Structure 1
């Protein structure tokens, strides 16, 4: 069962400036997980995710939609699936796969699903903006 799509839902929630009111506390807690991944380390991140897994228990369900046969889905009760998705990404791919955008005017969360763990920006737009700024700074410095 691939839980990456659930982790991506967590990223969308963290980056949402105006989520539904009932999801604001979860958004803030998930944002703290991304902040821990960017700074305080794996043990703090694991402790935060473990605490969230206790508060947001996961309820898997069998489903057979879309002609795919029986398979598991996580029933999303107050964001439990998002928490489980992030925990699964950390467990299978590593804590360094959770990140915050390095573009100076952005701090959006992202999942690094690249094969070489090279993602540093939330989008191609932010990567381009950072690269153009670095290029212009080099040109100014060289003149």
Structure 2
């Protein structure tokens, strides 16, 4: 199991927020966010939607702290999430794949999402360092991303943002 892949949950959720238009505005938009990851789907309520919005703000705060060089604050926030949303690994052999590790699928949708996101982010930071987290510097975008290069020089979340700003 590639636990770092769970870190993508952080980017996918946090980048649903745009001051001009919140892409996580109703239960259908929450379902759309979760559809690529069927193991996270389940019965959704407006309470789940609000919990996901709160989780989004908490994760953004962790990334913003890391980007600002406030490593201790970022780590404290992430550690608090790991305590509140414990990860429970389990062996699985689904869909003809050999036995491999997954995170259990117990609890509410927001709890499962938070556990996976926190674990993935923790593994990513453990492997690549806290400097692997980035915040797009485009004037029109505040998306988060993970640095892909070792030099941490990436300034934009995408080529589109870089070209729009005349950078990259």
Q: Same fold judged by TM-score > 0.5? A: yes
Report what 1:9 is aligned to: 9
Indicate conservation of the 8 Å contact 1:75/1:81, yes or no: no
Give me the TM-score of the superposition, normalised by structure 2.
0.72
Stretch deviating more after TM superposition (95-104 or 15-24): 15-24
- Answering whether residue 65 of structure 2 is matched by residue 42 of structure 1, we say no
Q: Between Structure 1 and Structure 2, how many residues are aligned?
A: 133
CA distance in 2, matches of 1:114, 1:4: 16
The Cα shift of 1:92 comes to 1.0
Pick from 127, 130, 133 the counterpart of residue 92 of structure 1.
127
RMSD: 1.9
Rg comparison, structure with higher value: 1
- Answering whether residue 134 of structure 2 is matched by residue 105 of structure 1, we say no
Report what 1:64 is aligned to: 93
Q: Residues 97-117 of structure 1: CA distance to partner in whole angstroms, max 9, x if unpaired? A: 111101112111111133443
Give me the TM-score of the superposition, normalised by structure 1.
0.83
Residue segments in structure 1 that go unaligned for 5+ positions in a row: 136-143
Residue segments in structure 2 that go unaligned for 5+ positions in a row: 18-23, 25-29, 31-48
- Answering whether residue 152 of structure 2 is matched by residue 117 of structure 1, we say yes
CA distance in 2, matches of 1:124, 1:71: 35
